[in-house]
Amino acid sequence: MLEIANLHATVADKPILKGLSLTINAGEVHAIMGPNGAGKSTLGYTLGGRPGYEVTEGSATFEGQDLLELEPHERAAAGLFLGFQYPVEIPGVSFVQFLREAVNSQRKGRGEEPLSGGEFLRLAKDKAGLLKMDMDMLKRPVNVGFSGGEKKRAEMVQMGILDPRLAILDETDSGLDIDALRVVGEGINAIMRKPDKAVLLITHYQRLLDVVQPDFVHVLAGGRIVKSGGPELARQLEDEGYEAVVA
């Protein structure tokens, strides 16, 4: 589904990704762990096409297409979802308004009919329910005044509504209380644990991985994948720390 080969990327002329390779197949859940500043968020932004994140070498192929050729909104329409480590506040634009535009823009990009107001609201209500989020919160401006945990939960409601093929979730677990972590983890499973979908979880903690069990765990350090393994690697990292495991 996603094949990243020898990816190099710079941010503000500073090399951050330095030859990162990773292959994710449909039906798989991958977890990326790694020290602060390793380049995990940079990987997400680069794959999402954020302006300022410049690919200098390497490739990323998504469902047979050259991902790096596509505009950010085209990547979304192609089925890529990026869950933000720090979701952005947009004053004056309600979630409902924003997400309806988003769903219908994506549908249009894929040549599908737009959802009517009623259809969209039913879908939004269903996904908010899955994440145990009050529908009234979606009437508020995007992320404005939301707590850290509420923002992360709202990210997953958005993912449910947009129904992507591949989700890159950047520390979706940080900021969540214990119960919310379970709800969000089970939400991720319900939305994404399907044979034709895949997930890349960026996380610092084992706790999320207890709920959303990864098939593969990778360590990203210094802009590259330096170690890969199964679920046991995450536990080993938790016990021993990066330095011991990577050295």
66 binds, among Mg ion, ligand ATP, other proteins, none (CB under 5 to 8 A by kind): none
CB of 135 to ligand ATP, least distance (A): 31
| Residues 59, 65: Cα–Cα separation, whole Å | 11
71 binds, among ligand ATP, Mg ion, other proteins, none (CB under 5 to 8 A by kind): other proteins
Find the binding residues for other proteins in span 94-123 (CB under 8 A): 97-99, 101-103, 105-106, 109
Q: Are 226 and 35 in contact (CB under 8 A)?
A: no
Please say which residue, 51 or 64, places its beta carbon nearer to other proteins: 51
| Residues 152, 209: Cα–Cα separation, whole Å | 16
As beta bridge partners, residue 229 has: 217
In the complex, the residues that contact ligand ATP under the rule CB under 6 A are: 11-12, 14, 16, 34, 36-42, 85
Helix axes 95-109, 148-162, angle to 10 degrees: 30
Tokens of 71: 């505009």
Residue 244's φ and ψ, nearest 5 degrees, are -65, -40
DSSP 4-48: EEEEEEEETTEEEEEEEEEEE-TT-EEEEE--TTSSHHHHHHHHH
Considering only 10, 41, 143, 158, the residue that binds Mg ion (CB under 5 A) is 41
CB of 49 to ligand ATP, least distance (A): 15
CB of 237 to ligand ATP, least distance (A): 13
Binding site for other proteins (CB under 8 A): 48-51, 71-73, 75-77, 81-82, 84, 87-93, 97-99, 101-103, 105-106, 109, 141, 158, 162
Which residues here bind Mg ion, judged by CB under 5 A?
A: 40-41, 85
